[in-house]
Amino acid sequence: MRAFQERRGLRVDGICGPQTWASLVEAGYHLGDRLLYHTSPPLRGDDVAELQRRLGALGFDAGRVDAIFGEDTQRAVLEFQRNAGLTADGVCGPATRAVLVRVKARSEDPIPVADIREREALRQSPRTLQGRTVVVGQTGGLDALADAVVRALGDTGAQAIPLHHLDGSAQAHQANGVGADVFVGLASAATGCSTAFYAAHGFESRGGRRLAECIQKEVPGILGAEATAPAGMALPVLRETRMPAVLCELGPPPRVVSQGPNLACAFTKALECWVRGLDEV
């Protein structure tokens, strides 16, 4: 169980909770096992991830490889079907799958078009927080810190929005709804400072990784902790956001409270570092 959780980018606790069970179910699907199409709630599974990878490798933008059949994936399927002379119904059935499997990408290790699009959007964006929409979410117990970070970001000219919700999916939905440029999640930990970004199914958010690295340069020292390497994970709040996102777990709680103003400044510096270094993404 722990090996499976680690491989899937989940919390490694050896417990088959809701997220682990959902991931087990998703892992059981292979492309061709079922019809894939856009519905509500969206279809999820490794078959969707393979579809997204194949479409992206051929230049059809299915969005990030998140194993969720959303609107971006539907548009990519429709575009592929039109180009392949298939019935354009947005459904990946036997005929669409057969052509997808038959057509090969020109490169042995193609870069998904969604990865290229994300990097170019970041590289062309302003090198300042001025006017950017930054969502700061927290999952309980860190209300004061989240509000302090929002105030510090407001002083830079950013439009900072706090989210106080226990559910990561709900936070992701709200961040997507306001069109956030970047998401910073805060969570309590027993000790230390660890930061995660989205990575799964052979895909990673370059913008998320870069921000996680900037946070690890600025924040751990405030807590008297050593910087650690950011981790690629597939937690709901990272998987379901549509912008660069990180989740930072901080502790111990008493020190987080006492160092609130300093932590707010450190997170602001990390975000400023992030926007200045987007050419390196």
Q: Which residues contact 225 (CB under 8 A, 6 or more apart)?
A: 191, 192, 193
Average pLDDT over residues 50-67: 93
Question: How many folded domains does the chain comprise?
Answer: 2
Query: How confident is the model over 165-198, as pLDDT tens digits?
Result: 889 999 999 999 999 999 999 999 999 999 999 9
Are residues 275 and 220 part of one domain? yes
Contact 100, 55 (CB under 8 A): yes
Domain around 109: 31-114
- pLDDT per position as a tens digit, 131-142: 999 999 998 899
pLDDT at 107 over 70: no
What are the two backbone dihedrals, phi and then psi, of residue 103, each rounded to the nearest 5 degrees? -80, 130
Residue 236 in contact with residue 9, Cβ under 8 Å?
no
Statement to judge: residues 94 and 173 lie in one domain? no
Same domain, 147 and 222: yes
The residue whose two tokens read 């970041």 is 122
State pLDDT tens for residues 199-245.
999 899 999 999 999 999 999 999 999 999 999 999 999 999 999 99
Alpha-helical segments (H) within the chain: 2-7, 18-27, 46-57, 71-84, 94-102, 113-123, 143-154, 168-177, 206-218, 236-239, 253-258, 260-276
Instruction: Give the domain CATH number at 76.
Output: 1.10.101.10
Mean pLDDT of the chain: 94
